[in-house]
């Protein structure tokens, strides 16, 4: 089982860009420093609290704008709603993630063995991120200048699915395998939102994190699955850097070799395939992706785009042979030959 680099939903590179483009906005730098401390603690196994494996129960805490985890109990499984809507939203969305895994994929929580779904809200002051640290979810409130909130259903699905990947394929968090790791989380988070809303493939925006930015920002979301590279374009952030084709693959060293940047390529392949199939994304397209990352016939931790594409074709041939042509077309459309 591979451990993911705890970098959070918002890439460090974007936070660095924000810091350089917004004099006086210290939230971005403080977020990077805080997340690095969290990642180091997780890597060293020095997280100072223990959480029982549990019975797939929701446990929501509040950090009260401090940085100690898990914080103070706010709402646990079966508790009535509180006066804090952020707590209530986290509780609701954690439950949706649990139910989606169980009802659609017969998976008992993140680890497949009933792990409690734990979250801490109101983490830090102006903390511009959400992250999974191997034990729980944590959400900042955002600086309210650029970032509005991180308690969004697709953000929660995205980060929690990093935990599922840790317990299954263990995709290494660098280069193309890392971009696949990020893409799997985008795919699952967006499909979770579609499932929760009862939307078919034509009714959803296919955006990752709509609502994450304040109204002051020229941006619809953090990423777009159908049109990578178009999610935002604002002087305070720069422009969405995602490529939509393998010929434009980012090959530099930033972002762990482009794990958030290059995830746009498999993201577009998935969205194209799901839309071509039609109906509900979790009926055909998502099961093929899930089997290829989490099932018995899954990729290994060092898989590249070509390895994953071939695995999806293999699984689709067994599961939904009538849709193989559409799948191959989707991968070929982003420059990954199968």
Q: Give catalytic residue positions.
A: 159, 260
Q: Cβ of 235: how many Cβ atoms within 10 Å?
A: 10
Query: Taking the alpha carbons of 39, 40, 46, 49 in that order, is the dihedral positive or negative?
Result: negative
**Can you list the positions of beta strands (E) in the chain?**
58-62, 72-76, 117-121, 130-132, 137-139, 207-208, 223-224, 233-234, 238-239
Q: What is residue 314's three-state secondary structure?
A: helix
Q: What angle do CA 113, 119, 120 make, to 5 degrees?
A: 155
- DSSP annotation of 215 reads T
Report the C-alpha gap between 176 and 261 in whole angstroms: 10
User: What CA–CA distances, in Å, run from 107 to 46, 57, 90, 167, 315?
Assistant: 29, 14, 20, 12, 19
Peptide bond into 70 cis (omega under 30): yes
- DSSP annotation of 321 reads G
């Amino acid at each position: 089982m591979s451990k993911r680099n705890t970098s959070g939903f918002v890439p460090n590179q974007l936070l660095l860009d924000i810091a350089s483009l917004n004099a006086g906005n210290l939230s971005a730098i403080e977020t990077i420093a805080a997340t690095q401390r969290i990642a180091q603690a997780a890597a060293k196994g020095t997280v100072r609290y223990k959480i029982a494996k549990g019975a797939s129960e929701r446990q929501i805490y509040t950090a009260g704008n401090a940085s100690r985890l898990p914080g103070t109990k706010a709402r646990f499984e079966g508790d009535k709603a509180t006066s804090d809507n952020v707590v209530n939203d986290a509780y609701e969305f954690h439950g949706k993630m649990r139910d989606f895994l169980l009802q659609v994929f017969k998976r008992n929580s993140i680890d497949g063995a009933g792990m409690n779904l734990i979250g801490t809200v109101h983490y830090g002051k102006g903390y511009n991120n959400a992250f999974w640290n191997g034990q729980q979810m944590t959400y900042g409130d955002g600086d309210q200048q650029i970032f509005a909130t991180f308690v969004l259903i697709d953000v929660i699905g995205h980060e929690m699915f990093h935990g599922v990947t840790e317990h299954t394929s263990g995709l290494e968090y660098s280069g193309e395998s890392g971009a696949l790791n990020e893409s799997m989380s985008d795919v699952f988070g967006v499909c979770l939102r579609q499932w929760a809303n009862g939307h078919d493939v034509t009714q959803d925006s296919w955006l990752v994190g709509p609502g994450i930015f304040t109204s002051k920002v020229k941006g619809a979301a953090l990423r777009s699955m159908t049109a990578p590279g178009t999610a935002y374009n604002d002087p305070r952030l720069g422009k969405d850097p995602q490529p939509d084709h393998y010929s434009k693959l980012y090959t530099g060293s930033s972002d762990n070799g482009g794990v958030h940047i290059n995830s746009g390529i498999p993201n577009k392949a998935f969205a194209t395939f799901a839309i071509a199939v039609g109906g509900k994304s979790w009926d055909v397209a998502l099961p093929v992706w899930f089997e290829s990352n989490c099932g018995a016939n899954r990729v290994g931790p060092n898989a590249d785009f070509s390895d994953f594409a071939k695995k999806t074709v293999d699984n689709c041939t067994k599961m939904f042979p009538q849709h193989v042509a559409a799948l191959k077309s989707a991968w070929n459309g982003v420059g990954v030959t199968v």
